[in-house]
């Protein structure tokens, strides 16, 4: 069998390793039954206000009080040590940790009344990116998977990317709602990682040693003879093997597709604007993928929620050193990368047809813990929205005087996902036909 390298994934029984061809049913650009025609794909793209969606997933639960919803008049054991600063939106203040974002609220809107149904990381993570709890099953599809299926595959690049080190998880387990869910494994995200130096790794298509795109191109005829592989893949739920391996070849051999991953094509100044961090360079990569026509890109702040853990990557789960981490690391990185991406999208005109969202799975306790930090808080948190028809400069929703609960209508992850889908051209009829986002409503205040 001809392998393209090895794909690493985690199953319920632990890590597994298998070749790309042997797991083609799990590759997100694999095309299954009900493949839209090229005419339907073109119509879907034309209808969408958001040609592309970029979700910055702040995994671990960023503190709303210490960032975009400060409570300077709350008791000392709530408000925290940070001062507040004015933003460009009249009456809205951020903490002093986000000066660049405060100066640009005329380009995006803030929701301060998010509320979710789950207080644990994997469970809340699934709710955050699908709109529904993991249990009872079946697990519903990720917002990106919904858009990926609706758009159909018509280019060399997959429709749905995860930019990060791996599928978001805590130490025991990963998010169950990371991919296709009821739509099938064919709509799982395509994983690509980006180092702080902008070096790109594509583990799903890591080629064998000495295997160049040219040599792969030369072996196309061999693959056409693998009828037995075609039948096996069809039995796994993929009925169009021809499209599957052509998409794989396209990503490996199409020059324009590969160029999207080459951050060296950006100026040194642009790359520096995003910051020499994995999140910053990941945001830059997301912008390039959106410019290349990818419908949905989720940039994961980290793979692990924990801030301190072996092999960890400093998530937002700040049970200890919350204030020190936010001041010295998390907020400076986010403030820089978010505003660099926002500025680039504004200056290039991308905000006209690209939706940019930033949010985590929940917030953190308004009352400071006995560890001088903050714990999980599902009852009130924030999200940021820009582009694709979203009215900028708005402060949507309000929390109470201590930041514990919304005093306006709570905004749920299901509402967020429904709004994303609607802006991406997946209307109520299409959602019903796919059996997704049932019962969801729009966040009307964004428009």
Cα separation, 179 vs 189, in Å, equals 6
pLDDT of residue 21: 29
pLDDT of residue 226: 53
Q: Domain check: are 238 and 161 in the same one?
A: no
Q: Domain check: are 402 and 440 in the same one?
A: yes
Answer for the pair 115, 407: CB distance below 8 angstroms, yes or no: no
pLDDT of residue 220: 55
Helix (H) or strand (E) holding 19: strand 14-19
pLDDT of residue 443: 97
Q: Domain check: are 341 and 427 in the same one?
A: yes
Q: Domain check: are 160 and 292 in the same one?
A: yes
Cα separation, 148 vs 383, in Å, equals 23
Please give the DSSP secondary-structure letter assigned to residue 413: H
Helix (H) or strand (E) holding 17: strand 14-19
Q: Domain check: are 43 and 22 in the same one?
A: no
pLDDT of residue 217: 57
Which residue shows structure tokens 């694999």?
30
The SS3 call for residue 244 is helix
Q: Domain check: are 116 and 90 in the same one?
A: yes
- The residues, ordered by sequence, that sit 6+ positions from 415 with a Cβ below 8 Å of its Cβ are 131, 440, 441, 442, 443
Cα separation, 435 vs 153, in Å, equals 20
Which residue among 260, 276, 292 closes a domain? 260
Q: Domain check: are 135 and 238 in the same one?
A: no
Q: Domain check: are 106 and 157 in the same one?
A: yes
Q: Domain check: are 127 and 100 in the same one?
A: yes
pLDDT of residue 348: 97
Q: Domain check: are 307 and 349 in the same one?
A: yes
Sign of CA dihedral 109, 113, 117, 119: positive
Look at the chain and report how many structural domains it folds into.
2
Q: For the chain, report the end-to-end CA distance as a whole number of angstroms.
A: 53
Which residue shows structure tokens 């210490």?
66
Instruction: Supply the CATH number for residue 146's domain.
Output: 3.40.720.10
Domain assignment of residue 75, given as a range: 37-202+262-446
Q: Domain check: are 268 and 298 in the same one?
A: yes
Which residue among 223, 245, 260 closes a domain? 260
CB atoms within 10 A of CB 107: 20
pLDDT tens by residue, the chain, 447 residues: 223 333 233 333 333 333 332 333 333 333 333 445 556 555 555 557 999 999 999 999 999 999 999 999 999 999 999 999 999 999 999 999 999 999 999 999 999 999 999 999 999 999 999 999 999 989 999 999 999 999 998 778 999 999 999 999 998 899 999 999 999 998 999 999 999 999 988 765 655 455 555 555 555 555 555 555 555 555 554 444 444 455 556 676 678 888 899 999 999 999 999 999 999 999 999 999 999 999 999 999 999 999 988 778 899 999 999 999 999 999 999 999 999 999 999 999 999 999 999 999 999 999 999 999 999 999 999 999 999 999 999 999 999 999 999 999 999 999 999 999 999 999 999 999 999 999 999 999 999
Helix (H) or strand (E) holding 130: helix 121-130
What the block records as the tokens of 294 is: 């990818």
- The residues, ordered by sequence, that sit 6+ positions from 360 with a Cβ below 8 Å of its Cβ are 57, 58, 59, 60, 61, 62, 128, 316, 381
Q: Domain check: are 436 and 317 in the same one?
A: yes
Answer for the pair 204, 43: CB distance below 8 angstroms, yes or no: no
């Amino acid at each position: 069998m001809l392998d393209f390298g090895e794909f690493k994934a985690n199953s319920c029984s632990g890590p597994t390793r298998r070749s790309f061809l042997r797991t083609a049913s799990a590759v997100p650009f694999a095309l299954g039954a009900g493949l839209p025609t090229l005419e339907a794909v073109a119509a879907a793209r034309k209808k969408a206000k958001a040609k592309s969606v970029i979700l910055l997933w702040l995994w671990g639960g960023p503190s709303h009080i210490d960032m975009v919803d400060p409570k300077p008049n709350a008791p000392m054991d709530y408000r925290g040590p940070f001062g507040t600063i004015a933003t460009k939106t009249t009456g809205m203040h951020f903490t002093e940790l986000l000066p660049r974002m405060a100066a640009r609220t005329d380009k995006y809107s803030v929701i301060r009344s998010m509320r979710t149904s789950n207080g644990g990381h994997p469970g809340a993570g699934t709710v955050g990116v699908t709109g529904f709890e993991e249990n009872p099953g079946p697990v519903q599809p990720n917002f990106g998977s919904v858009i990926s299926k609706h758009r159909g595959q018509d280019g060399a690049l997959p429709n749905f990317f995860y930019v990060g080190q791996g599928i978001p998880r805590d130490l025991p387990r990963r998010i169950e709602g990371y991919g296709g869910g009821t739509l099938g494994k064919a709509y799982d995200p395509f994983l690509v990682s980006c180092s702080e130096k902008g070096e790109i790794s594509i583990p799903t298509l890591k080629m064998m040693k000495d295997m160049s795109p040219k040599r792969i191109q030369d072996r196309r005829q061999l693959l056409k003879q693998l009828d037995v592989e075609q039948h096996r893949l069809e039995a796994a739920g993929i009925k169009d093997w021809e499209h599957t391996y052509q998409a794989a070849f396209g990503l490996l051999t199409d020059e324009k597709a590969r160029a999207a991953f080459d951050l060296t094509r950006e100026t040194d100044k642009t790359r520096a604007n995003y910051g020499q961090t994995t999140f910053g360079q990941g945001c830059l990569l997301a912008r390039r993928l959106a410019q290349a026509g990818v419908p949905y890109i989720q940039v994961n702040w980290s793979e692990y929620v924990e801030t301190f853990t072996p092999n960890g990557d400093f998530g937002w789960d700040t049970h200890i050193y919350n204030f020190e981490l936010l001041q010295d690391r998390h907020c400076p990185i986010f403030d820089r990368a978010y505003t660099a991406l926002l500025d680039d999208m504004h200056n290039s005109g991308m905000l006209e047809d690209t939706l940019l969202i930033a949010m985590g799975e929940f917030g953190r306790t308004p009352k400071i813990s006995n560890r001088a930090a903050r714990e999980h808080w599902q009852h009130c948190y924030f999200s940021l929205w820009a582009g694709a028809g979203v009215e900028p400069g708005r402060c949507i929703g309000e929390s109470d005087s201590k930041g514990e609960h919304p005093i306006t209508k709570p905004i749920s992850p299901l509402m967020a996902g429904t709004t994303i889908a609607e802006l991406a051209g997946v209307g109520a009829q299409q959602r019903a036909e796919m059996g997704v986002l049932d019962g969801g409503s729009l966040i009307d205040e964004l428009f």
